[in-house]
Chain A
């Protein structure tokens, strides 16, 4: 079930009302049932895979806690990791792996292998819930979290519907104890949760989904498009993916907050970041901290030699790229971010030696750094969005080949509009993006309660404007969330 669907508009209030009507002892079962229903709305049979890994991780957690023998502990951890990564390997990476093996076999022996492709769809949000499950076993293994003995609560930890299919990837310390606590209806939680949901929905249906159509036109056949068209749509994609994913996160956090649960923050206006490092502390925070805690730090983090440190960073981002999808485009996207961070280390080192640090404090440098970071991120998004590595290079080549010629902007808009009737709508969508760009940092603070509007009527006017804009300008076709595929 999609958050931006009519079904969710019914599902959410029904589940929330039932949640508060039911006594505390029945609430976990209501939420678990609702989560199963939510998940089974996509491909029902895949719930069995989810339950399979839940059972393995639940048992592994208890054994991990009850065992003192380090060898046995490692064994139980391994069992849990093999189950989770095994599911990922089969469903997400097997066909990709086979593709590459076959290509290598073709080169070497002029014929592909006899191995067969799996004709199965990827379970929705597989990478999210397996990472959340692994986070639990890691934490129990390290002794930072007690094993959950209540099977239903543990299953709910993995399946809690607001964050089941696209995160935030929660940690057991943050959420498990909340499922045991008795929740009371609180007006301020309801209103702040709904405000977040409305803002998330605005980002999704007004910005991301309207922009998606334009991006799809250029990225479907990049060889047919000019540098200007591809440049514009590459910028558009930067906003599409931000609004799509952060919109989902806002709706997830808001939906959980209405029922009294606090999920971790996942986005903090990432495009105002002044460096790639800062970008990653603002973008998909739950994933970047996951990689930090369970891969980067165990590898030694930055407490190693500079070359090893740089290698660790590169490796983490390479894995992050693979996590996003089974395609070389994602691998290159991750590698690019790894390279950016390695360059940043070298750059900081040089600046420190030259004593040029004070420049960074000047406003003009801050603006320059923000623009540079945004463009580096947007450049990497080209690989993320392109259908293939070849397409990504075609896009870069066409953009590098020349952007501006007289009339090129108008021509690009005409092509993206597809129909002369849509010309002004395309311009209108661009204006919406610019308006969003200007207001997002302030709106982010307002919806997260970090900036309080002085008068109540301002709040009513603002949210009425947002909801009215959703109804008027929202795109209501069947558009899924980009991150559901991961």
Chain B
């Protein structure tokens, strides 16, 4: 047994040395200015500057009327400027493909009842049906809080998380990879373009919803945490093009609605919001654009005020501009 213990320790020691040496070689070889480690390993992202910048700029000590969490639908679909027009201070902590596990750890480490008066959780069936590594990798590498990164890595049950953590600390020695940081306002990024009607990208619509146990588990944990921490939550799903397959949505609702009900969380489903499902409203097959975001946000704010989830605007107006959805 003594021999086993001794050789195990020697092996672990030599493994750490060899791993770090290999990692360093792959990190410092940088063809095209990008460390080769990003190309040689699977799951590491060299984009994600958006995530990095939004967490750098987010101040936990400030008080926010609204904080938005969710996938790219969140950070491209909820504009702090629109909320500001109604007198609400809003910050968008949505990240690409945000897995519910990431949402849970962000909420746990960044939000509390003092800094968040309302959490809007944007939820999207395609992201929800996938146990992808992308958002975990993004968060582990780019979130500024070590605790969130380590918790996400440990909960990932994935050996690749070791590489992501290593990359996080190697990057800390240099400047963080910081592409795509322009154009963010309180974490929101506008998409000022239209979906080309000739290229509906129907390929992207061809997918099948399947329940992802991990997403379901962390959605449940997230809502339980918010309840326990006294953070009010609403869940919203933003509009999607009319060509989107409803079949997925029904399966998705079967998974999530019982959880919302159990935790008493209201669900605002705008997937088929009238006037917001035409392709002129989208910058690509699933993301809203600069035209539709204000309409959608005003609609959501109106409904939240109506249901007393948000107090009436602090600037005294019930709504800045009532959108004429049919005309749009």
Contacts and interface: CB of A to CB of B under 8 A. Distances in A.
Interface of A: 6, 187, 190-191, 210, 421-422, 424-425, 428, 460-461, 463-465, 467-477
A467 B26 CA distance: 16
Contacts of A468: 15, 18-19, 22
B15 A476 contact: no
A471 B159 contact: yes
Given A424-B31, A424-B39, A474-B159, A187 B3 contact: yes
A472 B19 contact: yes
Interface in B105-164: 157-160, 162-163
A472 B22 contact: yes
B36 A424 contact: yes
A468 B7 CA distance: 17
Interface in B1-33: 3-4, 7, 10-11, 14-15, 17-19, 22-23, 26, 31
Contacts of B10: 460
B41 interface: yes
B40 interface: yes
22 contacts: A190-B4, A422-B39, A424-B36, A425-B39, A428-B39, A460-B10, A460-B11, A461-B18, A463-B11, A464-B14, A464-B19, A467-B15, A469-B22, A471-B19, A471-B159, A472-B23, A472-B37, A473-B40, A473-B41, A474-B42, A474-B160, A475-B42
Nearest to A465: B18
B163 A471 contact: yes
Nearest to A472: B41
Given A460-B11, A470-B159, A472-B163, A428 B42 contact: no
Interface string B30-60: 0100001101111100000000000000000
Contact of B40 (A425, A464, A465): A425
B157 A6 contact: yes
A50 B256 CA distance: 37
Contact of B26 (A460, A471, A472, A477): A472
Nearest to B23: A472
Contacts of A428: 39-40
B45 to A, nearest CB: 10
Given A425-B40, A463-B11, A464-B11, A476 B160 contact: yes
B308 to A, nearest CB: 45
Contacts of B41: 472-473
Given A421-B39, A467-B15, A468-B22, 4 more contacts: A463-B11, A464-B11, A471-B19, A477-B42
Contacts of A465: 18, 22
Contacts of B40: 425, 428, 472-473
A471 B4 contact: no
A191 B22 CA distance: 24
Contacts of B15: 464, 467-468
Nearest to A194: B11
